[in-house]
Amino acid sequence: MINQGKNDRLWQYVGGVLLIFVLVLIISRMAERSSVNLLFGVLFGFTLQRSRFCFVSCARDPVLFGNTRSVNALLLSLAIMTVAFPIIQNIQLQSIGKIVGQVHPVGIHTAVGALLFGFGMVIAGACASGTLMRVGEGYLMQVIVLIGFLIGVLLGVLNFGWWYDRFIAEAPVIYLPQYFGWIRAVIFQLGVLLVLYFFIKHYSSRKKIKI
Amino acid sequence: MKENQEMGLLKKLYTVVFKNIWPLWVGGVILAALNTVYLLLLGRAWRITTGFTYWSAWVVQAFGGKPQEWSYFVETGRQTEVEQCFFSNDLSLVSFGVILGALLSVLLSGQFKIKKIKTTKQAIAALAGGIIMGYASRIALGCNIGAFFSAVPSLSLSGYVFGLFVVIGAWLGSKFLVKFLL
Amino acid sequence: MAQVKIDCMYEPCPIPLLKAARELSSLELGDVVLIETDHSCAIANITEWAEKEKLDCWIEETRSGDWNIYIKKT
């Protein structure tokens, strides 16, 4: 670093080590479930920041700049979980009779919600995970985004009934193994991710920034 | 001599883990592993904005509201969760953890800085973007994590639909950004 | 050999790269663009783009959370 002495950063390292101690203390005293939640949150946040993993970058960069590293990392991440999650789902199905994970009704509400979410995340400069990460990094702008999130979520909760009655209540839950069987569903999904990889690679190699 | 070698190795280890940026693919692999173990241990996958609904509800509660009676929490079967508190609720803790984890990361790499807001336009964009995302997350039944990152591996078609439309939305957002906020 | 400085402090992700690309398109061979940014994601973003466009790019960390990114038109 050129403009800053070592001592200026010393307080950060000390602070970091102190934070580790505090976290270890808290986590070791919490109820088991709570300690797992806090620990994993910290690990998620640490990993996100260390690798600058950004979903907005995944959605925006291939289209805007032709950059694909973010989206490739995302595809890899999804591929790994595509193999791992169903194994756990299968085990849990046999032991508790329920499908675990994020399985939701799909319909117009999904499309409209996603469209709005995509728009919002680009103008806010971060998605949900990114916002939390940047609040931790010290970005005041994302603190405002978080406040916006809390307002928006509240509005959504109050307005939920309208969407539920019109779209969500009748929407089907399409759980791939129900239609393809476990193994074919996993292979199908891995295939989709692979096709996406090549499609994005080809498409972005021809991309030039237009200002 | 040996001591110098050990110090050199330690310094190198510190640099690689805490100072240098991790390659994106490494981040992706670790996040996938973390989410998988999380699902295994708790029987639920990572999700964020649902946690925000509790934070909002508790703010309202602090002002005298009774969110546990709202139809939203009753009908989605989340009454128990909204009756918990910041430090006992699963999702509240995870999101709080994410903030702390990121903070830990910048502190240990000596890169912490309070980044102020440059223009009013930015602040308005931030607030508007946040509100839109929050509302949208309720309609889509999740955010980029709950409705996509955890939904696709859960083999739910909703994840695919979310992914497709979030990219379209991002494209529209980029056009808007370049035109009005550049 | 000119050096153009772009101040992108406090500006969110796509802005530094967009400004840099715009500036670079009007520069001559050998000119350098200096981007001052405090956005941690912008570094990853800009270096990947520079590599892809086969431009020389190097970074120095000036203060906690501040970076100077140099891109040379080659």
A residues 8-27 closer than 8 Å to B (CB): 9, 12-13, 15-17, 19-20, 23
Q: Per-residue pLDDT tens for A186-196?
A: 999 999 999 99
pLDDT of residue A147: 98
DSSP structure string for C6-62? EE-TT--THHHHHHHHHHHHTSPTT-EEEEEE--HHHHHHHHHHHHHTT-EEEEEEE
A residues 31-70 closer than 8 Å to C (CB): 49, 52, 54, 56-57, 60-61, 64-67, 69-70
Residues B60 and B31 in one domain: no
Length of chain B: 182
Residues B180 and B122 in one domain: yes
Mean pLDDT (chain C, rounded)? 89
pLDDT of residue A1: 54
Domains of chain C and CATH, by start:
3-72 (3.30.110.40)
Residues B93 and B121 in one domain: no
Give Rg (Cα) of chain C: 11
Residues B76 and B34 in one domain: no
- Report d(CA C59, CA A1) in Å as an integer: 11
Range scoring the smallest mean pLDDT among A1-5, A130-134, A189-193, B31-35? A1-5
Closest partner residue to A125 (CB to CB) among C12, C17, C25 is C12
Task: Give how many domains chain B has, as a whole number.
Answer: 3
Closest CA to B182 of B132, B133, B119, B113: B119
- Does C40 contact B at CB distance below 8 Å? yes
Type of residue found at A76: L
| B174 to chain A: closest CA residue | A122
Domain range spanning residue B98?
47-114
pLDDT of residue B137: 97
Plot region of B138 (φ>0 → left; ψ -120 to 50 → alpha; else → beta): alpha
pLDDT of residue A4: 60
- Confidence band for C14, pLDDT divided at 50, 70 and 90: confident
- Report d(CA B30, CA A42) in Å as an integer: 13
Tokens for A56, please give them.
Answer: 């907005």
Tokens for A152, please give them.
Answer: 């928006």
Range scoring the smallest mean pLDDT among A68-72, A104-108, A187-191, C39-43? C39-43
ipTM value for the complex: 0.94
- Does C14 contact B at CB distance below 8 Å? yes
For chain A, the domains span 2-210
- Report d(CA B91, CA B97) in Å as an integer: 10
Which residues in chain B come in under a pLDDT of 70?
1
Tokens for B59, please give them.
Answer: 């703010």
Q: Which chains touch C (3 or more CB pairs under 8 A)?
A: A, B
Instruction: Report CA-CA distances (Å) from B67 to B56, B59, B131.
Output: 9, 10, 20
Inter-chain residue contact C44 with B21, CB threshold 8 Å: yes
What are the b/e assignments for A43-78, b being 16+ CB within 10 Å?
A: bbbbbbbbbbbbbbbbbbbbbbbbbbbbbbbbbbbb
pLDDT of residue A137: 95
pLDDT of residue A6: 64
Helix (H) or strand (E) holding A153: helix A140-163
Residues B121 and B156 in one domain: yes
Type of residue found at B174: S
CB atoms within 10 A of CB A80: 19
Q: Is the pLDDT assigned to residue A211 strictly greater than 50? A: no
Residues of chain C whose beta carbon is less than 8 angstroms from a beta carbon of chain A are: 10, 12-14, 17-18, 21-22, 25, 40-41, 43-45, 48-49, 52, 60-65
In this structure, are residues B130 and A152 in contact, taking their beta carbons and an 8 Å threshold? yes
pTM of the model: 0.94
Residues B181 and B127 in one domain: yes
B92, B114, B136 - which closes a domain: B114
- Confidence band for C11, pLDDT divided at 50, 70 and 90: confident
% of chain A with per-residue pLDDT over 90: 88
Q: What is the 3-state secondary structure (H, E, C) of A159-198?
A: HHHHHHHHHHCCCCECEHHHHHCHHHHHHHHHHHHHHHHH
Average pLDDT over residues A34-39: 96
Give every CB contact of residue A180 below 8 A, 6+ residues apart in sequence: A188
In this structure, are residues B132 and A120 in contact, taking their beta carbons and an 8 Å threshold? yes
What are the b/e assignments for A146-171, b being 16+ CB within 10 Å?
A: bebbbbbbbbbbeebeebbeebbeeb
Average pLDDT over residues C61-69: 90
Inter-chain residue contact B113 with C14, CB threshold 8 Å: no
B residues 158-177 closer than 8 Å to A (CB): 158-174, 176-177
In this structure, are residues A19 and A104 in contact, taking their beta carbons and an 8 Å threshold? no
Average pLDDT over residues A168-192: 96
